[in-house]
Each structure stands twice: as C-alpha cells, then as structure tokens.
C-alpha cells in the first residue's frame, strides 16, 4: 500500500491558485525530490502533506487514512509525519536535547528518563550527541538543522518532509546536513524533499518531480528528469540552475 496518496489537490489563497490539481503517490521507503521554480507550489504541497495547510479541493491520504481538517485527524497526522524547514525553527530557550525531547514527553507521554535516552540516541544519529546541552544560538546553522532533524525523528515518523533544508546554510555546512539525509534514505526512511541540490537528487532520489505553476509537469527517475528532460519548462529550469 502507498504511504502517501494525493488526489487532485488544489490549494487557493484568495484568488491565487497555488496548487492546480496535483496527484502524487509515494511508496514506503521511497525518496521523492521536488524541483521547480520559486513560487510553483512546492512548499505548499509539503505543507498539505503534514496538515499545515488545508486543501481547497482534493484529498490527501497518509498511511491509508484520509487527512481531515479536525484536531484529532491532524494530531494523528503530526505523529506520522516529520517536517524539517529551511529555517530550523528550534526553540531558542531550550537546549538541543530539550528541543528533541519536548514532543516525546508532551505528546508521546514518555518519562523524563525515557525521553532523555531517546533524545540522546537521536542526537547521536545526526552526530550532535556531543552538543546535547548547547542552545541553538551556540550552534552553527548546519548543527541547528541536524538538531531539527533529530527532533523530527524522535517522534518516529513514517514519513519525513524536508523543505529546502540546506538553502539557509553557508555552503560549507550544506554537506553535513545532506549526509544525514543520505543516511536516512539508505536506512529506508520515506522522504519527500524540496531542494535545489541536484547532486543529492541525482544520487539519492528514487523519483524526481518537476513542478511548475501549481502542477507536476514531469516526473521520472533522476536520470530521466535531470539528464534527459522532455518538457521545455523542465529544460529551461535546469539550464537556469546550471548558470548560477
């Protein structure tokens, strides 16, 4: 059974129709990378997958359960889906460890000792165990992003969403975050990733989707979409990326 099924998804903000009928299926263990020009709706699509946006039309089904706009449905979804944002959104007044253990304590009801053990394991996975007591302001952007990934993983999500996780980072810090994501992918995590990192997409993605103006214009293997794009908009977009 597919882990994610999106059918005829439309999202409007007033008169602006940001998603114009997106269909998407993601299988367990699949890594799907979304590329496309700024404003084409990539973030909005990810936000619909984790319940941060409510579809105007169409359906999102995660793990066989249709996502409904009610608190219970959204709470259940938040347990299944982890999201990592461009700007890490860590709580500034909490240490790295406390950022990671907050939701397991509050939402999963773990004891302090259980949550701490889990938090330290998650921080070790992203190579941040040595900085468990540090506050976000004492960490580099790459380190903060790795803590944000550990925080999402601590909820044992079935699906991880990454929205341009490296685009707010200095270039020398991008690699350490991508490495953590590569490891997750190798371990079989189902992932939807919005990124402009074409090397990562080529190496790690099972499937690449090119979006333009609220629609999926082209999809296929990284080789098909990135090396042999068929659609003129995909070709234009990739040519512009290469010029940067």
Least separation, in Å, of the C-beta of 50 and ligand ATP? Answer: 13
Cβ closest to ligand ATP, residue 38 vs residue 243:
38
> CA-CA distance, 1 to 205, in Å (whole number)?
20
46 touches 83 (CB < 8 A): yes
Determine contact, residues 210/36, Cβ cutoff 8 Å.
yes
56/114 with CB nearer ligand ATP: 56
Q: Which residues bind ligand ATP (CB under 6 A)?
A: 13, 16, 18, 36, 38-44
Residue 64 three-state SS: coil
57 in Cβ contact with 8 (< 8 Å) = yes
Beta strands 190-194; 207-212: pairing state: unpaired
Torsion angle, CA of 109/153/47/75, rounded to 10 degrees?
A: -20
- Tokens found for residue 37: 């020009």
Complex with ligand ATP: residue 1 or 242, whichever CB lies closer: 242
Please state the closest distance from residue 174 (CB atom) to ligand ATP, in A: 16
Shortest distance in whole angstroms from residue 13 CB to ligand ATP = 3
If the CB atoms of residues 40 and 226 are measured against ligand ATP, the closer one turns out to be: 40
Q: Rounded to the nearest whole angstrom, what is the least distance from the CB of residue 22 to ligand ATP in the complex?
A: 11
Reduce the DSSP state of residue 34 to 3 states and report it: strand
- The least CB distance from residue 102 to ligand ATP, in Å, is 26
In terms of CB distance, is 17 or 129 closer to ligand ATP? 17
């Amino acid at each position: 059974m597919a882990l994610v099924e999106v059918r005829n998804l439309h999202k409007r903000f007033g008169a602006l129709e940001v998603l114009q009928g997106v269909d998407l299926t993601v299988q367990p263990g699949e890594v799907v990378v979304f590329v496309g020009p700024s404003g084409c709706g990539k973030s909005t699509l990810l936000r619909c997958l984790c319940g941060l946006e409510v579809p105007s039309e169409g359906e999102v089904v995660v793990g066989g359960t249709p996502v409904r706009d009610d608190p219970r449905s959204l709470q259940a979804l938040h347990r299944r889906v982890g999201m990592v944002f461009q700007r890490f959104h860590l709580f500034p007044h909490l240490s790295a460890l406390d950022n990671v253990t907050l939701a397991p304590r509050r939402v999963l009801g773990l004891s302090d000792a259980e949550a701490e053990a889990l938090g330290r394991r998650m921080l070790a996975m992203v190579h941040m165990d040595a900085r468990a007591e540090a506050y976000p302001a004492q960490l580099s952007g790459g380190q903060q992003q790795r803590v944000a990934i550990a925080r999402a993983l601590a909820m044992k999500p079935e699906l991880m969403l990454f929205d341009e996780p490296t685009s707010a980072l200095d270039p020398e810090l991008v690699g350490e975050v991508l490495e953590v994501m590569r490891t997750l992918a190798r371990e079989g995590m189902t992932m939807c990733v919005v990124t402009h990192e074409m090397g990562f997409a080529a190496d790690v993605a099972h499937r690449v989707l090119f979006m333009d103006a609220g629609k999926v214009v082209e999809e296929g293997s990284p080789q098909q979409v990135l090396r042999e794009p068929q659609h003129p908009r995909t070709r234009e977009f990739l040519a512009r990326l290469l010029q940067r």
